[in-house]
Each structure stands twice: as C-alpha cells, then as structure tokens.
Amino acid sequence: MRLPAVLPALFLSMALLLTRSGLAGSATSLRYALKAGQRLTYAQDYQTDSRSDARSLFEQGGEASTDASLINALRIHLRAQLQVEVLAMQEQGWLLSVRWERLTGTITANGQPRAELLSALQKGLALPLVLQLDRNGRFGPLHLDPTLDPTIMALARTLLAPLQCILPPTPSSTWEAVEEDPAGRFEAVYQLERRDRKDGITRLRKWLARHLPDSSVTRQGELKVERNIQVQGSRGLGFHAQRGHLVFLDGHEVQRTIIAGKTVAGSDVRLALRLTGSGRLKPEVLGVRQTWAKQRQLASPGTSLYVEASAEEQETAVQRKALGESTADQIFEALKAAESQGEKDGGAHYLKLKALAYVHPEACARMGEVLATASPESLSMRLLASALSTTGSLPCQEALAKALRSRREDWPGMAVLIPALGQCQSPSLASIALLEELAYGSPVVSIASTAQLMLGSMAFNLARQGAPEKAEGIVASALARLEAARDPVLAARFLLCLGNAGSPRSLPTLQSWAATPEPELRALAFYALRWIEATPVDPLLLKALASDPEARVRTKVIEAFRYRAPSATLVGALAHTALQDASPRVRLAALGSLWDLRNRYPEVLTTVEAARKDPDEDVRKQADSFLGK
C-alpha cells in the first residue's frame, strides 16, 4: 500500500511528555515527572491539506513534464484517543508504550475517498509501539510491529514525531534543539510565554525554524540534490509544571518542500491535543506490558523518526512516481502512436520508458527486441536506447547487448547502441567483453573505433565506482595495443580511448607520445592527460602551451585544461597565451577558457579588455561579446 503523493513533513511537533517546569531563574525547573505504570489519555485532532507537483523535476529540453500523474493532492482529517503508558524507568529516561485508539476521520487522495487506507490505519495504529525517551525529552529508538505495512509504519512515525519536546540543560526563557521528523531534521526554537499559578499550567510556544541538510555523503560522480523544507506558523503548548506532562497543544503551520530550487510540495496543517484522563496500570497488567515490550524490542529493530533514504531508495521513489499507473503495454502503444504521428521530441515517453526499465526490469527484454529491428533514425531507437543506458541495470545492459549482437555490421544502428552500452554507469563483465569483441574484431572500421572510445568511458566509470580491477583490465589492453600500433590512425584511436579512461597507469605512455614528432598524435596525447590526477600533468601541459610549435597542439592543451582544477598559475599562462600567442585560433581558445574562470579570478576581465585590441577581428569580436560591448 502506498500513499499517492509525497507526504512532506505533514505532522508537526505536538509536545506530549514535557520535562522541566518553571521559568528561567526560578527555584524549580521543568522536568518529566513520569512513573512506571502511569497512563495518560489525550484527545488528538489532526488535519492536513497537502499538494505535490513534481513535474518540474522531470524537465526535458528546459520544459517541465506535462504528465498529470506527477500532480497529487492529499487531505487527511483524523481524530483519535492517544494512549501513553510508562512501562519502566531506565538509567537514561523511560520506556513508553504508545497507541492510537478509536481512530475516525477521512482520507481523500486526488479527490477520491481512501476508505481502505483509513481502515488500515485504524488497525495498524491500534497496535502499540515501544519508545525510549531520555531525560531531556529526546526520542530514542522506536520499535514498531514488524508486520505493519510500510505506509502505516511511516504514518505512525509521522504522528509520533510531533510528541517530542526537547528541553534545555539549564533553565532558560528561550532555547533551541535539533529534532527529527519523518521529513528530515529541524532546528526548533522554544519560548516560555507565561505561567498561570492558578491552574499550574506553563505556556510555551514552539517553531520549526530551520530545516537541516542531510548528512549523507555524495559519492564521486554523483550529483547531490539539495532539499529544503520551509515552515511558517507555530504551536502553543500547555503543560502542568508539577505533574510534568502535557495538558494541551494547538498548532497551525504551512510548509513548502523545495527540491533543486523548485517548490514541489506544500501543506497546511492544524494540530490539537487535549489531556482527557490519567490513571495507573495494575501491577499484573504492567508486568505483562513490560514482558511484551522486551519481546517487541528483540523482534523489531529500533528505528529513528527520520531515516535518510539511500540513493537507490530515492531513485526508486522518483521512478515509481514517474511511472504512475502506466503499464508496459500502454507505454509501448503510446510510443508507437508518437512514432506514427511524426513526433520528434518524445520527452514524456522517455521518462515513462526509463521508469518502466527501473521499476519493472522484466520489461527491458521487450525494449531490446524493439531495438533489434528499429530504424536507426526512429524515435523508438533514440528513446529506448537512452532509457536503457541511463538506467544501466544488468537487465538494461543485457537488452542493449542483445540488440547489438543482432546488428553487428549495421553501422547506423550500432552508432546509437554502442554509446548506449558504453555509457552505462556500472558495466558488467559481459558488457565489457562485448565491446572489446567489437573494438578489436569488427571488420567495420566505424564500429571498431566507436567501441574503442566507449571502452575508455567504461573504464572511467568503473574506476570511480569502486571497480578498479575491471577498469585496469580495459586500460592494460588499450596500452598494449597502443604500444604495438604502427598505423597512426589506429594509434589515434587508442590515445582517445586512454583519454576517456583517465587512468594514472597510462601516464608514462602518454608522456612518451606527447614527445612524438607527429603533431596530431602529440595533440591527442596531451588531451588524453585531462582526467589524470598526478603531479607531473599540469607542468607538462603548461610547458606545451608555452612552447609547442604547432597551433593545433596548443589548442588541444587548452581544451585539456578545461577538465582540470584551475589555479592562479593556469590563469596567468592563459592570459599570456590570449594576448601573445602567434595563432589567432589559439588566442581565441585561451580567451574562451579565461572567460569561464572570471567569477573565481576577477583579473580575467583585464585580459579580456586588452583582447579588444587584438589584431585579429574574430578575437576582438569575441572579447567585445564577452564584455557586452
């Protein structure tokens, strides 16, 4: 069971069991006053009206997707009795049991009632969960019934999160705390408002002031997508200072979820909680509850309120949303219709095909069958090859390989399929073997050369994804063949292959080829150094930029520097080249590279201004264009 839309931080903090009563500077401080066997009953009312629109995240050609399935609306109104039982006192705090009883309300998704979800919630939330609470009010691990549907587990955490209130280590009128919510981590701000001596209730106000970034580390080559949640509004809390527990809560908050700078979801949430009763468990009942809690802790792994999704989980969620309710038959029929109608773009079809390949890998074989016979210029060839390549799973690679084998000497088709297989992020041994077979055995020169180039790209991806042994195998083979090459054309291919691979192992060989008297091969050798992170590389390139007699070589060196980390030394060398090199072509290339570095090195503007007086008209026009003249 899955909710039809992202549930972005819908349930916000409702302080339930509060610690430390009293104002800053008073003799007594706010504190929990919980005892084993204590039972607290609350009437809880929760309402939310939320909407998500993820179309902007699936842009093609600068335009957002028009897929209506990426727009979802969710309305929830729940009322329940919240039962909190204190099962035991521990060294660091308390062990609690929490459950929701007599739950009623409505759930509507995209205008349609979701009675089955409400029924599942009624059953699932009536099952108690175990919660550890420390003395400062911070929630420790929670243990849910392991048989619950993941959607119900998520909602239980979402309903539980607002019950947390973390108090300061020393009495204060204002304090901050980092708190978890299923949507993320927030910096919360608390403020004491007033203390009523007649009823003994202290009033607080709480804000979720700032969403904190995830702590996950981005792997090399991955793009980390920034997510931010903005919250407006606050919650008023009332709790009994001497009894040390919540008496009431009222809150109204509006949230916006922003991903990659785009607002993709929003919600309007209203919260209410009222203490309706208290009591004590009988000793025999408490004993049973304590035994049950120990069993639950052993049977169910503890989980936090916020669990950072892995890259794979995030991608799966994105692709499931992109796929929506579409079936494979529907997607293929839509592609066929687009083909017959002469559609050229096909962005929406690409997103569906990619999602289909990711969510239903068994459909990849069907895609491969279409690729085996599709016209090389067709929309189907382009979109299917791209969807399989971008997804890059083993079934995707197998589908591409099958299509490749069926078109071994069909260069127009192979021109699409070879790059598609070579650009898969985690190529299998079988995929590597197939490209090597084509690279070193195909009688069609274009096919062989393209496969050689893509082998280099494969090695690059493998080395940066923790599979250096696979990468080094490709590099070793290319190095051996380069050393044996007697044909300049063949040597050029292997230099390009090694350049795509960017392996430090190839540095000595590339240094040797950088000294060859043949300008074209020398230029390719310098360009092949672009990805290699080794101390000798930059000095070698700078020397060639300053002294190589061939303009084409110096131009290629400038291209290589575009892939390397900039430095003040490089900026100085490019500035000298842009103003002093004998070749207008080289000066123009240096000017373009300098302009790309202007934000980091403002002195670039002085060089560009000077280039406005260059003797070559094209250089002068380029400088004027950069400066807006």
Is 49 within the bounds of a domain?
Answer: yes
Q: For residue 202, tell me if it sits in a domain.
A: yes
* Helix ranges, 423-518 (H): 429-441, 445-463, 468-484, 488-501, 507-513
Sequence-distant (6+) residues with CB within 8 A of 487 are none
Concatenating the DSSP letter of every residue in 494-561 gives: HHHHHHHHT-GGGHHHHHHHTT-S-HHHHHHHHHTTTT---TTHHHHHHHHHHH-S-HHHHHHHHHHH
Strand partners of residue 372: none
> pLDDT tens across 434-478, in order?
999 999 889 999 999 999 999 999 999 888 887 888 899 999 999
Mean pLDDT score, 145-160: 87
Residue owning tokens 């050393």: 483
Q: Quick check: is 180 in a domain? A: yes
Is the pLDDT at 1 greater than 60? The verdict is no
Let me know if residue 48 belongs to a domain: yes
Q: Is residue 516 part of a domain?
A: no
Which of 65 and 269 is assigned the larger pLDDT? 269
Q: 492 and 524 in contact (C-beta within 8 Å)?
A: yes
Return the minimum-mean-pLDDT range out of 103-117, 215-229, 591-605: 215-229
Q: Closest by alpha carbon to 41, among 99, 88, 95? A: 99
pLDDT value, residue 240: 85
Q: Reply yes or no on whether the pLDDT at 160 is more than 50.
A: yes
Q: Is residue 2 part of a domain?
A: no
pLDDT value at residue 67: 63
Q: What is the value of pTM for the model shown? A: 0.59
Q: What's the pLDDT at 244? A: 84
The stretch 162-171 carries a mean pLDDT of 80
Q: What is the CATH number of the domain that holds 128?
A: 2.30.230.10
pLDDT at position 12, please?
A: 31
- What is the arithmetic mean of pLDDT over 320-346? 88
Taking only the tens place, the pLDDT of each residue in 268-322 is 999 999 999 999 999 999 999 999 999 999 998 888 998 776 667 667 777 887 8
Total number of domains in the chain: 1
Rounded Cα distance between 124 and 450, Å, is 57
Residue 454 domain-assigned (yes or no): no
pLDDT at 629 over 90: no
Helices (H), 221-376: 283-299, 311-323, 328-340, 347-359, 364-373
- Taking only the tens place, the pLDDT of each residue in 396-431 is 999 999 999 999 889 999 999 999 999 998 899 999
Domain that holds residue 180: 38-308
Provide the pLDDT for residue 40. Answer: 95
- Which H or E run includes 304? none
In a domain, 135, yes or no: yes
